Homo-oligomer: A and B are copies of this chain.
Amino acid sequence: VKQINVILFDGFETLDVFGPVEIFGRMNHQYTMDYFSMQGELVTSSQGVQVKTKPISKIQLNEILLIPGGEGTRTLIDNEELIKEITLLAAEAEFVLTICTGAALLAKTGIINGKKATTNKRAFSWVQSVNEKVAWQKQARWVVDDKFYTSSGVSAGMDMSLGFIKDQQGQAAAEGVAEAIEYIWNKQADNDPFCDRAR
């Protein structure tokens, strides 16, 4: 069983989190998930969903880290305390998965300097400006470089999560989950229909 630690904050994007959670949660208990925030408070998404969390200090190292995006990231890139936590956690994690502008938080740590990564197409310039040393990929539904999985905007997190399962448990496992949730999986990491909206 692999443990996925999800970092939440006020203004996280709802589907960035719960698309992947649905997918990993369908893997017959091969993945468990927990939700964390700086203080372990009740956290509210951009769409008003209130979710119970544990304090970020309780995250175990060497597990999987999942960082969503959302409006909250715009100010959180300047939150030194959170970035310090993510720097440590991302360095020690077995894998790090980001969705949408969650890549801005990861990029801010410096840990993906020189690595390929992608992010939300409508916030591309902003995320790029957070750290120009990352090899940002414009045409990508998701990107894998080393232990870092980064996805494009919101829904792309589901395609990436299935891609991660494919890499870990094989194509049949990923297709089984997609079928179980009646999801039309965009299987090609470089098939990015929203690439030309980049700004």
Contacts and interface: CB of A to CB of B under 8 A. Distances in A.
Copies of this chain, tallied across the complex: 2
A3 to B, nearest CB: 12
A165 interface: no
A42 B48 contact: no
A163 to B, nearest CB: 15
A179 interface: yes
Q: Which bracket fits the contact residues of A?
A: 35 or more
Given A25-B46, A25-B47, A183 B197 contact: no
A52 B42 contact: yes
A62 interface: no
Contact of A22 (B15, B35, B51, B121): B15
Given A14-B22, A15-B19, A182 B152 contact: yes
A172 to B, nearest CB: 15
